C-alpha cells in the first residue's frame, strides 16, 4: 500500500510516498481504508525531530483518520467491515497511508450528516478542545480567554466554550476577528497590536494554545481561583492554577463531538483540502502558523 513515510528527520522534503506493507489488525484493532486525514502541528514537530514520539525513522506520520473498516481483529465486537468510522490513532501506524490500524476504542461511528472531510479534521483538535474544557471545569457564565482561537483546536474550543454558556475572549490576528465573532467569541484581541495582559483582567479560565511566555502572561490576567490549561509547553511553571492537557482518543468524546457537528451546533472549518501528493506543501502551510481551522488531506490523486 502507499504511505507517506520518511527515513530521516528533517524539513518537509523528507516526506516521500513509499510502498509499505499493509498492516494486519491485532486483537482489539480495526483496519480502516483511509478516505481523509488531517495535519496537526505535532506531525511537523515529529517530522523535524523536535518531538520524538515515534522514535527514530522510518515511520509514517498522522493521527486523524476518517474512512471505512475493511477488517476487524479478534475481540472487536463494536464494529464490522463496511462501517464508516473516524478516530484518532495512537501509534502502530500513521494515518498518511492508504490503510490504517487503530484500536477499536479510539474510533467512533461517523454519523451520516458528518462528511469524511469534517470527520478527519475533528479527532485530535476536537478531543483536545473538549478535554481541555472538561479539565478546566468551565461552567455557565464564566469568562474564558482562548489563545490561538482561529487554529484547529482554538476554533472548536471557542464554539464548545460558547455552547457551555461561557463568555469567550480570544486572541487572533485582525484578519480572523470576524471569523471568531461568527463562532461565538464576545471579544477578540489582536495580539499583533495589543498585549492582551494590558486589557484583560480577572478571567476564570485561560486555554493556552500558544505556550512559551504566554504562560506567565496569562497567569497575570487570571482570577486568584482561576484555571490555566495549556496544550503547549509554557513558562507557567508550577503555579497551582496550571493544568496540562494531552488530547487522548476516546470513543465517547468522539461521538459527542460528531453529534454536535451532525446537529449543526459545531462547525468544523476546513482551511484547505490537499492531496497527499502535496504533503510537503501542507506541512509548510501548517508551520507558517497561519492556517485557519484545519488542513485536511485526501489520498493521492
Ligand atoms: N497537548 C496536546 O494534546 C495537543 C493537541 C493538539 C494541539 N496541541 C498544540 O496546541 C497548539 C495549537 O494547535 P492547533 O492544531 O490549533 O494549531 P494550528 O491550527 O496550527 O494553529 C494555527 C493558529 O495559531 C494562531 N496563532 C499563531 N500564533 C499566535 C499567537 N501568538 N497568538 C494567537 N494566535 C496565534 C493563528 O492565528 P492567527 O492567524 O490569527 O495568528 C492560526 O490560526 C500547537 O502548538 C499544537 O502542537 C497540543
Cite the residue boundaries of each domain of the chain with CATH code 3.40.50.720. Answer: 125-244
Q: How far is the CA of 271 from the centre of ligand 1 (A)?
A: 14
Mutate to test the pocket of ligand 1, among 44, 159, 209, 236 (most ligand atoms within 8 A of CB): 209
For the Cβ of 191 lying below 6 angstroms from any atom of ligand 1, the answer is yes
Q: Residue 239 has which C-alpha cell?
A: 503555579
DSSP string for 212-241: BTHHHHHHTTEEEEEEEEESS-BTTTT-TT
What is 2-122+268-298's CATH topology? Quinone Oxidoreductase; Chain A, domain 1 (3.90.180)
For residue 156, how many other CB atoms are within 10 A of its CB? 29
For residue 32, how many other CB atoms are within 10 A of its CB? 30
Comparing CA positions, the residue from 26, 19, 89 lying closest to residue 54 is 89
Comparing CA positions, the residue from 215, 232, 211 lying closest to residue 51 is 232
Comparing CA positions, the residue from 122, 146, 154, 128 lying closest to residue 260 is 122
What is 125-244's CATH topology? Rossmann fold (3.40.50)
Q: How far is the CA of 153 from the centre of ligand 1 (A)?
A: 7
Please answer whether residues 236 and 217 qualify as being in contact, where contact means their C-beta atoms are separated by less than 8 angstroms: no
Q: How far is the CA of 75 from the centre of ligand 1 (A)?
A: 38
Mutate to test the pocket of ligand 1, among 106, 151, 176, 247 (most ligand atoms within 8 A of CB): 151
Please answer whether residues 276 and 96 qualify as being in contact, where contact means their C-beta atoms are separated by less than 8 angstroms: yes
pLDDT in tens, 240-265: 999 999 999 999 999 999 999 999 99
Question: How high is the pLDDT of residue 301?
Answer: 81
Mutate to test the pocket of ligand 1, among 289, 293, 295 (most ligand atoms within 8 A of CB): 289
For the Cβ of 156 lying below 6 angstroms from any atom of ligand 1, the answer is no
For the Cβ of 250 lying below 6 angstroms from any atom of ligand 1, the answer is no
Cite the residue boundaries of each domain of the chain with CATH code 3.90.180.10. Answer: 2-122+268-298
Could you read off the pLDDT tens digit of each residue along the chain, which spans 301 residues? 999 999 999 999 999 999 999 999 999 999 999 999 999 999 999 999 999 999 999 999 999 999 999 999 999 999 999 999 999 997 688 999 999 999 999 999 999 999 999 999 999 999 999 999 999 999 999 999 999 999 999 999 999 999 999 999 999 999 999 999 999 999 999 999 999 999 999 999 999 999 999 999 999 999 999 999 999 999 998 999 999 999 999 999 999 999 999 999 999 999 999 999 999 999 999 999 999 999 999 999 8
pLDDT in tens, 1-52: 999 999 999 999 999 999 999 999 999 999 999 999 999 999 999 999 999 9
Please answer whether residues 99 and 22 qualify as being in contact, where contact means their C-beta atoms are separated by less than 8 angstroms: yes
Q: How far is the CA of 149 from the centre of ligand 1 (A)?
A: 8
For the Cβ of 124 lying below 6 angstroms from any atom of ligand 1, the answer is yes
Please answer whether residues 17 and 52 qualify as being in contact, where contact means their C-beta atoms are separated by less than 8 angstroms: no
Amino acid at each position: 500500500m502507499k504511505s507517506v513515510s520518511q527515513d530521516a528527520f528533517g524539513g518537509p522534503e523528507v516526506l516521500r510516498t513509499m510502498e509499505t506493507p499493509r498492516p494486519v489488525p491485532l486483537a482489539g484493532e480495526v483496519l480502516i481504508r483511509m478516505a481523509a486525514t488531517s495535519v496537526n502541528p505535532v506531525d511537523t514537530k515529529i517530522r523535524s525531530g523536535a518531538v520524538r514520539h515515534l522514535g527514530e525513522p522510518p515511520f509514517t506520520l498522522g493521527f486523524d483518520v476518517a474512512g471505512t473498516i475493511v477488517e476487524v481483529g479478534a475481540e472487536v465486537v463494536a464494529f464490522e467491515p463496511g462501517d464508516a468510522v473516524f478516530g484518532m490513532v495512537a501509534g502502530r501506524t500513521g494515518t498518511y497511508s492508504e490503510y490504517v490500524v487503530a484500536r477499536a476504542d479510539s474510533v467512533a461511528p461517523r454519523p451520516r450528516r458528518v462528511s469524511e472531510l469534517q470527520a478527519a479534521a475533528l479527532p485530535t483538535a476536537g478531543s483536545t478542545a473538549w478535554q481541555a474544557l472538561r479539565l478546566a471545569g468551565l461552567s455557565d457564565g464564566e469568562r474564558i480567554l482562548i489563545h490561538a482561537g482561529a487554529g484547529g483546536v482554538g476554533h472548536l474550543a471557542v464554539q464548545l466554550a460558547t455552547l457551555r454558556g461561557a463568555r469567550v475572549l480570544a486572541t487572533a490576528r485582525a484578519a480572523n476577528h470576524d471569523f471568531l465573532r461568527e463562532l461565538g467569541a464576545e471579544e477578540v484581541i489582536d495580539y499583533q497590536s495589543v498585549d492582551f495582559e494590558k486589557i484583560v483582567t480577572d478571567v476564570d479560565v485561560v486555554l493556552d494554545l500558544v505556550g512559551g511566555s504566554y504562560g506567565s502572561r496569562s497567569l497575570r490576567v487570571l482570577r486568584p481561583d482561576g484555571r490555566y490549561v495549556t496544550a503547549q509547553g509554557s513558562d507557567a511553571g508550577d503555579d497551582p492554577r496550571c493544568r496540562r492537557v494531552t488530547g487522548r482518543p476516546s470513543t465517547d468524546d468522539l461521538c459527542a463531538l460528531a453529534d454536535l457537528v451532525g446537529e449543526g451546533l459545531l462547525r468544523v472549518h476546513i482551511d484547505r483540502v490537499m492531496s497527499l501528493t502535496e504533503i510537503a506543501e501542507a506541512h509548510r502551510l501548517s508551520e507558517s502558523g497561519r492556517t485557519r481551522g484545519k488542513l485536511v488531506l485526501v489520498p493521492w490523486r
